Amino acid sequence: MALDKDEVATRVLAIAERLLEEGGSAQLQARTIAREAGVSVGSIYNLFGDLADLHRAVNMTLLDRLGAAGAEAMRDMQARGVVRPRERLIALANAYIAFVERHAGAWSALLAFNRGPAAGSHPSWYTERLDTLFAIIARVLDDGGYGLDPVRRDLAARALWSSVHGIVTSGYVGAGRGAARDEIRAQVDILVECFTAGLEAIRDGKAEAR
Amino acid sequence: MALDKDEVATRVLAIAERLLEEGGSAQLQARTIAREAGVSVGSIYNLFGDLADLHRAVNMTLLDRLGAAGAEAMRDMQARGVVRPRERLIALANAYIAFVERHAGAWSALLAFNRGPAAGSHPSWYTERLDTLFAIIARVLDDGGYGLDPVRRDLAARALWSSVHGIVTSGYVGAGRGAARDEIRAQVDILVECFTAGLEAIRDGKAEAR
């Protein structure tokens, strides 16, 4: 049987993502994927290297979609004339929350993957995708007129990203689903409020803590 | 053989923590623990209920030690006359970073546990331990004189906790170990600097973003 490589790869990726969504990397078994895709185990390895490479390929599609969700949120704000960094950062955080809710299992598997042994050797196309996400936040900070030099602006963008990420991933502890979402939104709100007010105060030389 | 219940429980907890440290919850097998502790599988279930309960008991000892590390950092600052909230929050974050580095595997397993199905039914003694950790940060904010009402102070404490947690757990992506620690410290530093400057500016009515 002649196989269309691209078509098979797309099918294998979709199956792999569903397995990751359902049960994390423990579910990512070559034999299961091969059976569901109707191809041999060998074709999967030919297409993706090993299972870590396949997981990384799924992660890449997730990061691409998260980047697209961020870009869409920015376009939407542009259209509605939302320019204040505080509102923009909260809208971006909300886009992230919605994405994590939609892909809870696969996103959790991505985080576990990034903490695992394979993470040390991320190829450049992987870290470039993370940089694309940070760049969206960096642009908001630039537009905010905080007068940050590029190094400090990028550091602030990564710190905001990690902080929102921490709020979203630890916000579910000890709370029901609805209460958890309210708690997450309230934490994001006070974080962004204080962070942007702090950037302003530091720019204006008003911060005692400097 | 007559067994001292407390002694066996302590031994089982230590073995369980080591297994979690080495390989996460997949390693937490009743038969392995029973063999290493020299007791029957039945005694383990008698002592701890099921494996989720045992995992929760290990988590409790981890949270207790983290709380102790936080309290020690506070006593140390008291002794050295460190009163500025910015310095105190950074010292607390450093205590957290050191704790996570010392218990990387078991802490990662705790986070996975808290995200898992058992987390929805945390008993009160579990969430009380989390509240104890938040209370340390809340005290620093109180001492900082930001004029926050208790609800907003506690929300700010939880947001700071989650943010630092996010920075620590996602800071390792795409970086070597030494570079990762520098990146984590730099992100914590800008977070705490901006957050505390923001609290001051908001208190003083200087924040445009209000």
Chain A residue at shortest CA distance from B157: A187
Residue with more model confidence, A171 or B132:
B132
Q: Is the CB of A195 less than 8 angstroms away from the CB of B200?
A: no
Nearest to A173 among B84, B130, B209 (CB): B130
Dihedral-angle region of residue A11 (phi above 0 means left; psi in -120 to 50 means alpha; beta otherwise): alpha
* Mean pLDDT, all residues of chain B: 89
Q: pLDDT value at position A2?
A: 55
Alpha-carbon distance of A73 to A94, in angstroms, equals 9
Output the pLDDT for position B174.
47
| Of residues A72, A93, A51, the one with CA closest to residue A181 | A93
Residue by residue, what is the 3-state secondary structure of A130-187?
HHHHHHHHHHHHHHCCCCCCHHHHHHHHHHHHHHHHHHHHHCCCCCCHHHHHHHHHHH
User: Do the beta carbons of residue B55 and residue B109 sit within 8 Å?
Assistant: yes
> Given an 8 Å threshold on Cβ–Cβ distance, is A195 in contact with B195?
yes
Closest by CA to B62, choosing from B154, B139, B121, B126, is: B126
Chain-chain contact of A172 with B207 (C-beta, under 8 angstroms):
no
Cβ neighbours of B174 in A, within 8 Å:
119, 122, 126-127, 130
Site from B167, B173, B185 to mutate, A interface, most A CB atoms within 10 angstroms? B173
Does residue B99 surpass a pLDDT of 90? Answer: yes
Please report the pLDDT score of residue A13 as a whole number: 96
Mean pLDDT of A107-111: 87
In the DSSP assignment, the letter for residue A117 is G
**Predicted pLDDT of residue B152:** 97
The residue in chain A having the minimum alpha-carbon distance to the alpha carbon of residue B128 is A174
Flag whether pLDDT at B41 surpasses 80.
yes
Contact B190 A127 (CB under 8 A): no
Question: Nearest-CA residue of chain B relative to A199?
Answer: B194
Q: Most B CBs within 10 Å: which of A170, A184, A199, A206, as the mutation test of the B interface?
A: A170
Per-residue pLDDT at B206: 76
Residue A193's nearest CA partner among A97, A89, A98 is A89
Q: Do A197 and B202 touch (CB under 8 A)?
A: yes
Average pLDDT over residues A146-169: 95
A178/A185 Cα distance (integer angstroms)? 11
Q: Which of A114, A161, A193 sits opposite B198 (nearest CB)?
A: A193
Contact B171 A162 (CB under 8 A): yes
Residue A163 near residue B166, CB atoms below 8 Å: yes
Q: Give the whole-angstrom CA distance, residue B57 versus residue B63.
A: 10
Q: Is the pLDDT of residue B208 over 80?
A: no
Measured CA to CA in angstroms, residue B71 lies from B23, B110, B137, B141 at distances of: 29, 21, 10, 15
Q: List CB contacts (< 8 A) between A154 and chain B.
A: none
Instruction: Identify all chain B residues contacting A200, using CB atoms and an 8 Å cutoff.
Output: 201, 206-209
DSSP A209: T
- Whether the pLDDT of residue B178 is over 90: the answer is no
CB B133 within 8 A of CB B160: no
Query: Given an 8 Å threshold on Cβ–Cβ distance, is A202 in contact with B202?
Result: no
What integer pLDDT is reported at residue B3 of this predicted model? 63
Q: What pLDDT is attached to residue A195?
A: 98
Q: Which value, to the nearest 10 degrees, does the dihedral of the CA atoms of residues B19, B24, B27, B33 take?
A: 40
Above 60 in pLDDT, residue B209? Answer: no
Q: State the CB neighbour count (10 A cutoff) for residue A159.
A: 28
CB A90 within 8 A of CB A98: no
User: Do B141 and B85 contact (CB within 8 A), yes or no?
Assistant: yes
Give mean pLDDT, residues B70-78.
96
Q: Which residues of B touch A112 (CB under 8 A)?
A: 112
For the segment A16-46, what is each residue's pLDDT rounded down to a tens digit?
A: 999 999 988 889 999 999 999 999 999 999 9
DSSP codes joined into one string, B141-182: HHHTT----HHHHHHHHHHHHHHHHHHHHHTTTTS-HHHHHH
The whole model's pTM is what? 0.89
Chain A closest-CA separation from residue B172 CA (Å): 7
The nearest CA of chain A is from the CA of B189 a distance in Å of: 9
Nearest to A200 among B86, B196, B209 (CB): B209
| Interchain pair B119, A172: CB under 8 A | yes
